[in-house]
């Protein structure tokens, strides 16, 4: 049955204590955690758990969801001290009887588990996140060697969930820092053989709020639910910026 079909029965089930961050800035100044005892079934995910609470315990709970298969990037949350996608995190893999669910840290809370992603999208937009071509377009597709396509493989997997942005100490302290996701996107275009705007792109990331704020802390890599290596991309951009200083392309 689909995700919302089952209402687990308490009898004979394992029970977990669930603590969920609650905050509605439109009605209260104080945030708090609410606790529930929830019956859990074998393959129940954190998202199932949230739906269970929404439907059977507290209709006021707010959270984001869409695809429930780890591709849309809606449900990145901070679960038991780790960044996770709620939909692909099974409770049994948490290996804990107490489950703490918080919104992505360091982002403004709109309500409960829903955070304001605007700063994240703003950085995304800044890097000119689209292919820029100057020459006339070919009649058919651009030809691209499979090996060149492979260079983008890691970066095009990004689902823009915001976990890396939320985990990066530089993003906490410097609101102008582009952040891992935007820089990964940037690198995706700089390595794309079809893109012809490397000169402009360098100007966007080669400055003190750009790549140079990355201190290879690897929090983003630890947080990424899609196993993307953001640091790899950022380091690539750094080398490109230096090469450019010495007349490279």
Partner 1 sequence: MPSMYHQVLIVGGGLAALRAAIEAKDAGLGVAVFTRVHPVRSHSVAAQGGVNGALANAEKGADDTIEKHAFDTVKGSDFLADQPAAITMTADAPKRIIEMEHWGCPFSRTSDGKIAQRPFGGAGYPRTCYAADKTGHALLHTMYEQAVKRNIKVYEEWTVLSLVVENGVCRGVIALDLRDGDIHPIGADAVIFGTGGTGRVYGRSTNSIIVTGSGMAIAYQAGVPLKDLEFIQFHPTSLFGNNVLITEAARGEGGYLRNVNGDRFMEKYAPKAMELGPRDIVARSIQTEINEGRGFPGGYVALDLTHLGAQKILERLPAIRDISINFVGIDPIEKPIPIQPGQHYTMGGIDTDVDGATTLKGFYAAGECACVSVHGANRLGGNSLLETIVFGQRAGAHASQYVKGNGRGRPSEDLLFDKLHEVRGRWERLRAADGPEDPAAIRDEMKATMIEKVGIFRDAQKMTDAVETVKRLQDRYQKVHVNYRGRRFNLDLLRTFELGMKLQLAEVIARGALDRKESRGSHARTDYKDRDDANWLKHTMAHHTPGGPRFDYKPVEITKWQPEARRY
Partner 2 sequence: MSVRDQGQPAWLVGPGGAMAWLLQRLSGFILIILLATHLLLLHYGGDQQLVFASVTIRLKTLLFIIIDTGLLALGLYHGLNGLRNVVLDYDLSRRAGSVLTTVLWIVGIFMTIYGATALYSFWAGRGVFGG
Partner 3 sequence: MSSRRHLSELRGNSDLYPRNVRTGMYAWLFHRITGLALVFYIILHIFVIASVNFGGGSFDATMRLLTSKPFVLIDLTLVAVVLYHSLNGLRIIFFDLGYGIKNQRGIFWALMAVGTVIFVFAAVASSRLLFRA
Q: Which positions touch partner 1 (CB under 8 A)?
A: 1-5, 7, 24, 26-27, 43, 54-56, 58-74, 88, 90, 110-112, 114, 117, 121, 124-125, 128-131, 133, 137, 140-146, 149, 152-153, 156-157, 159-160, 188-189, 192, 194-195
Which one of partner 2, partner 3, partner 1, none interacts with residue 231, CB within 5 to 8 A by kind? partner 3
Hunting for tokens 């709109």 — which residue is that?
A: 110
As measured in angstroms, the least distance from the Cβ of 55 to partner 1 is: 4
Q: Where are the beta strands (DSSP E) in 9-67?
A: 14-22, 32-40
Q: Is 225 in the site for partner 2 (CB under 8 A)?
A: no
**Non-local CB neighbours of 122 within 8 Å, separated by 6+ positions:** none
Binding mask 169-188 for partner 3 (x = CB under 8 A): x--x--xx------------
**Non-local CB neighbours of 99 within 8 Å, separated by 6+ positions:** 16, 17, 18, 19, 46, 49, 79, 80, 91
DSSP structural state of residue 59: T
User: Residue 170 in 3-state DSSP?
Assistant: helix
Binder of partner 2 out of 210, 224, 225, 233 (CB under 8 A): 210
How many angstroms separate the Cα of 147 from the Cα of each of 103, 152, 192?
39, 9, 11
Pairing assessment for the beta strands 32-40 and 82-85 based on DSSP bridges: unpaired
Of 160-179, which residues contact partner 2 (CB under 8 A)?
A: 169-170, 173-176
Which residues are near partner 2 by CB under 8 A? Answer: 118, 121-122, 125-126, 128, 169-170, 173-176, 203-204, 206-213, 215, 238, 241-242, 244-245
């Amino acid at each position: 049955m689909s995700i919302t079909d089952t209402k687990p029965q308490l009898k004979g089930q394992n029970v977990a204590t669930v603590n969920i961050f609650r905050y509605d800035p439109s009605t209260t100044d104080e945030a708090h955690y609410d606790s529930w005892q929830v019956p859990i079934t074998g393959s129940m995910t954190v998202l199932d758990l949230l739906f269970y609470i929404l439907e059977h315990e507290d209709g006021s709970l707010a959270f984001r969801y869409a695809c429930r298969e780890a591709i849309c990037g809606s449900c990145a949350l901070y679960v038991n001290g780790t960044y996770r996608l709620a939909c692909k995190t099974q409770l049994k893999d948490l290996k804990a009887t107490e489950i703490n669910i918080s919104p992505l840290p360091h982002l403004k809370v709109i309500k409960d588990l829903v955070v304001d992603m605007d700063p994240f999208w703003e950085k995304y937009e800044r890097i000119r996140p689209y292919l820029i071509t100057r020459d006339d377009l070919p009649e058919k597709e651009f030809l691209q060697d499979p090996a060149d396509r492979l260079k983008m493989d890691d970066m095009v997997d990004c689902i823009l969930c915001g976990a890396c942005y939320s985990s990066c100490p530089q993003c906490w302290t410097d609101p102008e820092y582009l952040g891992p996701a935007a820089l990964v996107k940037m690198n995706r275009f700089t390595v794309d053989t079809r893109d012809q705007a490397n000169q402009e792109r360098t100007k966007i990331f080669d400055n003190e709020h750009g790549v140079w704020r990355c201190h290879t802390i690897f929090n983003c890599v630890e947080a990424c639910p899609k196993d993307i290596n953001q640091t790899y991309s950022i380091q690539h951009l750094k080398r490109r910026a230096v090469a450019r200083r010495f007349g490279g392309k």
